[in-house]
A and B are shown apart, each in its own frame.
Chain A
Amino acid sequence: MSTSGSSPIVTIMGCVIVAIRDDLDDREVLMLQDQLVEEVARVKARGVIIDIASLEIVDTFAGRMLGSMAQMAHMMNARTIVVGMRPAVAMTLVELGMTLDGVETALNADRAMSLILGRRIKPS
């Protein structure tokens, strides 16, 4: 287990899971991305679950990080699922014009886990 700031990264059944703590600055966001990519490679992960339930805001920088994370993980054959997005954050991202195409989403980590482990059909 490694940490970025106080966001702990854990790996369960081949899924790298991180619950981002509130309010990371840009440098911390990039550090977290580095650590996630490292962890995906280290454990040969099948999926990455990023829980953003505690984030009150996701701006274009953090949004872009989620998008690149998904791309990088994809290249390493892992799915990235963003979970727990707050309604206000979702509306704001839409208004910003950031629809995070290419990033999968789920309501919570539990559902994301089922998706990655293939127990349920994937919502389109």
Chain B
Amino acid sequence: MPSESASLSSILSSDFEKILASWLKAQAREGVKRTDLVSAKETEKQSRDFLIAFGRATRDAPTDDKFDFANPSWDPVREALEEITESRTQRGVSPTEMGWFIASIKLPLFEQMRVAFAENNARLLENVWNTTRVVDQLALHAVESLVQKREAIIERQRAEMTEVSAPVVKIWDRIVTVPLIGTLDSFRAQTVMENLLDAIVQWEAEIAIIDITGVSTVDTLVAQHLLKTAAAVKLMGAECVICGISPKIAQTIVNLGVDLPNVTTRIDLQSGLAYAFERLGVTTKG
């Protein structure tokens, strides 16, 4: 047992309940116990679990200037923090609140130390400093973990949204189609291209139909994206058909001076599909 860490770890083990109770109070005082977001019962359980893990880690690993958060003994503490941030991320707790939640544990710890080292100021100061370093590190970790989790949620939502805005469907054996709706910015155009190419692999499609009926405006950028998509589709061994070329869009494209060579275009989805059937030798009744 590292001698320097003995004090922090022994305080945590001998006065566990007292520290927990005092910490919960400190949390409330610092305004981090958001009863509207996290119930008192849950907070107590999380605090208790964290404190148990914290106590064990301070017993097994040094907390003086040899403190290293990367030490495997801190793994359970990290896990406890993960759990706490996980539930709090979902409830919209702010990074500040998250930081204070952990940092407020200093108060009960310092209280106990003041009693334990009443006779020895140097030892008290040393212990306060070591504890501060350790707790601050944990608090920062919690904040970082919270922010990362939040970003992951945003990223997932963005991915879901683009997924919804460009659904590629298999409409026939060896034919996939994607309807484009609204404005096509660079990011969406890229997503459409990726989804379409993935669908070609997935369904072993030979024809990919892009329906631009719902696209509000076709500018040079959009036209270029369409051309790139068509070229990529061809490289993969399939053929691209762009349909939904209204008279207005045909005029715009020509006036922009954009050439669509080697790209098959059709007026609407029906004629696009008819073309695809012809290419694949599909015959339909009626």
Direct contact of A and B (CB under 8 A): yes
Which chain A residues have a beta carbon within 8 Å of chain B's beta carbons?
81-87, 89-91, 93-95, 99-100, 105-108, 111-112, 120-121, 123-124
**A81 surroundings in chain B (CB, below 8 A):** 237
Contact, CB under 8 Å: A87 / B231: no
Residues from 225 to 247 in B contacting A, C-beta threshold 8 Å? 228, 231-239
Contact, CB under 8 Å: B231 / A94: yes
Q: Is the interface of B mostly helix, strand, loop or mixed?
A: helix
Partner of A105, one of B197, B234, B281: B234
State the CA gap A81–B236 with chains docked (Å).
Answer: 11
A35 to chain B, nearest CB (A): 23
**A106 surroundings in chain B (CB, below 8 A):** 237
**A95 surroundings in chain B (CB, below 8 A):** 228
Q: Is the interface of A mostly helix, strand, loop or mixed?
A: mixed
Partner of B235, one of A85, A111, A124: A85
Judged by a CB distance under 8 angstroms, whether B200 is at the interface is yes
State the CA gap A107–B237 with chains docked (Å).
Answer: 5
Partner of A107, one of B231, B236, B279, B281: B236
Contact, CB under 8 Å: A90 / B239: no
Partner of A121, one of B205, B232, B281: B281
**A93 surroundings in chain B (CB, below 8 A):** 232, 235
Judged by a CB distance under 8 angstroms, whether B178 is at the interface is no
Judged by a CB distance under 8 angstroms, whether B219 is at the interface is no
**A105 surroundings in chain B (CB, below 8 A):** 234-237
Nearest to A84 among chain B residues (CB) is: B237
Contact, CB under 8 Å: A99 / B231: yes
Partner of B236, one of A85, A120, A124: A85
**A111 surroundings in chain B (CB, below 8 A):** 206, 237
Which chain B residues have a beta carbon within 8 Å of chain A's beta carbons?
193-194, 197-198, 200-201, 204-206, 228, 231-239, 262, 279, 281
The 5 closest A-B pairs by CB, nearest first: A87-B197, A105-B237, A106-B237, A90-B232, A90-B235
Contact, CB under 8 Å: A107 / B235: no
State the CA gap A86–B231 with chains docked (Å).
Answer: 13
**A94 surroundings in chain B (CB, below 8 A):** 228, 231-232, 235
Contact, CB under 8 Å: A107 / B232: no
A101 to chain B, nearest CB (A): 9
State the CA gap A120–B279 with chains docked (Å).
Answer: 10
Most chain B CB inside 10 Å of its own CB: which residue of A87, A89, A108:
A87
Partner of A90, one of B205, B206, B236: B236
**B238 surroundings in chain A (CB, below 8 A):** 107, 123
Most chain A CB inside 10 Å of its own CB: which residue of B198, B204, B228, B236:
B236
Contact, CB under 8 Å: A87 / B194: yes
State the CA gap A81–B234 with chains docked (Å).
Answer: 12
